[in-house]
Amino acid sequence: MVRGKFVSRTTWLALAGLVMAAGWPACDYDPVIQEAIEDLPPEDPDGPSEFHRAGQSCVDCHSAYYGADPDLAIGGTVYEQQSNGSLDPVEGVFVTIFDSAGASQKACTNSAGNFFVRLEDWEDAKFPLAVQVGNRYMRSLIGRDRSCAGCHELATQTKVNIDPTVDPSTGQSRTSAGAILVERSTIPIEEQCGLNPASASSSTTTSTGSGMGGSGGMMGSGGSGGGS
């Protein structure tokens, strides 16, 4: 009788341990981000680098969730639209991001048009953010998505087929702001940056106490969101 009870308790403990062990990895599972990652196109032929996956959501993978190195505070891709509608990456333009606490970061686009700020360089960015690319200011705010491509989705054939509002060139639609566009010829010299891709891609600078809306931040309260 006693033995039976002991066995039973041990079995229950073992079962509980198994359930906990099986459930442990699932605690980190995020079906929304996971689906976004699984829907990404195949990796570039040259493999991961600071030039890869232009126009795709950087921070889905470059985050604590997926663990791609480095963790990014923000990242995106800048293009110029050609007369035939095609998009060319724009190299060597400053992207300035202003947070709600009055801090800002500058990043320089590389030859793929990619720019990013490492998380270690801006762990305390206060959302919402405002953005300047070259001489253009983004008209809306970034509420919390650290991947520019989350809102600036490019066109895909599938999207074009199902959504009549999708611009097949830029991707602009009822749910997307389309590609981040600048006109190279109108970028002032002070908004241009190193044309050496190796140095340009990692070039970020920080400043505080200034930015859109002046010191103290454009929003006043300084949002504390920002998880994507």
Q: Which residues bind another protein (CB under 8 A)?
A: 127-128, 130, 137-145, 150-151, 164-165, 167, 172-178, 212-213, 218-228
Closest CA to 71 of 108, 120, 1, 115: 120
Is the CB of residue 138 less than 8 Å from the CB of residue 178?
no
Nearer to another protein, 55 or 150 (CB): 150
Residues making up the chain, counted from first to last: 228
Least distance in angstroms from the C-beta of 51 to another protein: 25
Least distance in angstroms from the C-beta of 97 to another protein: 12
Instruction: List the strands of the sheet with 130-133, edge to edge.
Output: 136-137, 130-133, 94-98, 104-108, 204-207
Closest CA to 179 of 168, 188, 165: 168
Least distance in angstroms from the C-beta of 226 to another protein: 7
- Quickly list H helices, 24-49: 31-38
Least distance in angstroms from the C-beta of 191 to another protein: 16
Nearer to another protein, 17 or 227 (CB): 227
Nearer to another protein, 138 or 154 (CB): 138
Nearer to another protein, 3 or 174 (CB): 174
For residue 128, is the peptide bond before it cis, meaning its omega torsion is within 30 degrees of 0?
yes
Least distance in angstroms from the C-beta of 136 to another protein: 11
Given 3-state DSSP classes, what are the helix, strand and coil percentages for the chain, each rounded to the nearest 5? 25, 20, 55
DSSP 8-class letter at 44 = P
d(CA 75, CA 97): 10
Nearer to another protein, 92 or 226 (CB): 226
Closest CA to 105 of 204, 210, 221: 204
Nearer to another protein, 80 or 145 (CB): 145
Least distance in angstroms from the C-beta of 146 to another protein: 9
Is the CB of residue 69 less than 8 Å from the CB of residue 80?
no
